[in-house]
Chain A
Amino acid sequence: MSKIFDTPLYPYARSADQDAPVPVRHPVVIVGAGPVGLVLAIDLAMHDVPVVVLDDNDKVSFGSRAICFAKRQLEILDRLGVGADLVAKGVTWNRGKVFAGEDQIFDFNLLPEAGHKHPAFINIQQYTVEAELVARLRTLEAAGKPVHIRGNSRVIAVDPQPDHVGVTVDTPEEPYQIAADWLVACDGARSPLRAMMGLDFTGRVFEDNFLIADVRMQADFPTERWFWFDPPFNPGQSALLHKQPDDIWRIDLQLGWDIDKEVEKAPERVIPRLKAMLGPEVAFELEWVSIYTFQCMRMERFRHGRMLFAGDSAHQVSPFGARGANSGIQDADNLAWKLRLVLEGAAPEALIDSYDSERVQAAEENILNSTRATDFITPKSAASRVFRDAVLDLARDHAFARPLVNSGRLSQPTWYDGSGLNGPDDPTLPALTRPGAPAVDAPLPGGWLLDRLGGDFALLAIGRPAPEVVGTRPVEILASPEVQSRYLNTHLSALYLIRPDQHIAARWTDAAPATIAIALDRAKGGLG
């Protein structure tokens, strides 16, 4: 049986563009059909923005790769129509354990609070997510939405112009040209488009190697994230165990810097390492093995004229904390509505600059967190190792040391504090839902708050009617206990202006429609 990543999902087919006398112009062209490019394409297509996706192959990505998808990303995927399927297929987890040497030093729960539709995390293979997204895109296409994915169509040249980008596409037949009002590079950490443009990508490379092994086994480990510092089966290094669907387990073993990658990747080296970890009695099969090094890097700017960079092409982090694919999906979520409004003429082009500022802020936060985790997991100096070991030592018996143990700070959405799109705040309302924050889910009679918000500007009126403001959709709800604590504090009512990406733009305990209209204009990149 051929595996999913051997199956062509969108094989090359000749496009009418190839026979056009002049290059056909498209509003949005996305390069790369990974999770980020597909999420962006689906969001645009659902809102009737014509979009072409170019991919240099015709399959999902090889190997499980990104496996942890966080709550905020599940909310985004849910809005796009694939959340429920993915949660059903994935392995839900909220808890983790940290070990040092032979001892468990503590456990944690990432979602201690009830009243959210989605769990803290699911584990699911990146290729399954991509296959679901491709299927969703195909469904939209079949329903007449303006979205097309072109397989085996590799961009070999770009020609940036003030109001568009010329794109040369190589195919199994001859190359051809198209033009894009906006070209979005979702083409991964080694981004060929970034290289073609000669753009910078700077940061830190970490001198370490990690072995990733996906193994198929029947095991009764609980569905939790387990992380080891200096375990007996990998002395002086770290290890990570995660459950995936279909009896597949992800094992990450730190190997150190001075190794021969080809030798270490060989099954005769990998299998004894895994036996030492799992015990001699556990039968397993190797599904996928890879050795990776990593880096924390980003481009200085994510917008270059009419070219935009999203996901790993724009920023790369170490894997500890699951901030790679998760942050890329948030990039797409942030960008889709801005491109749509600008293309519709409903917002000035300057709105696109806020994609750059907000997502650079997010990348900085992700790089900071993943760098700190990496420095803790693999100390870079003797002093750093002494402190790390002291923290682990104390953490066994002393609660105070546990917040210092850093095995990865797991992906959280970025709060766009200080964004130019943010409008008025009322600081007597909860800090959790201040302007810039992602709207926090809450149960409502018969459903969930985020489902009611949808993907357009919403005017959330809690405990009161919503005033009529052109360009907003009223969402009127009553104050349940969750809504009270997450949105009201001690107030009886409030108004929240919420962006299409479900981040809060402004909020008031009371406001005149004209005041809300000014905040709406500001959230669309106007001067407010």
Chain B
Amino acid sequence: MRITVTRSGGFAGIVRNATLDTRQQSDAAELTDLARTALEEGRGAPGPVVPDGFFYEVEIDGEMLQWADPHLTAAQSALVKKVLGEGSPGGAP
């Protein structure tokens, strides 16, 4: 499973982007489960934009999703943190 996260907005307005391939992760099964949960919970419209809030564009195996702070579920929040923290920068298709 390939996951790309682009985070924009925020007080600083600095864009961050990273991609993670679960097949290259030691916790692949756990991460795939987390991504599936995040996906199930995150297919609807993002909540209302708040000033300086982070905005996330997430691609999970080709499916595009949009999430906005502070409306992320625990799974969504854990997933974006994991991908931005451990993924490789960039990763645009």
Chain A partners chain B = no
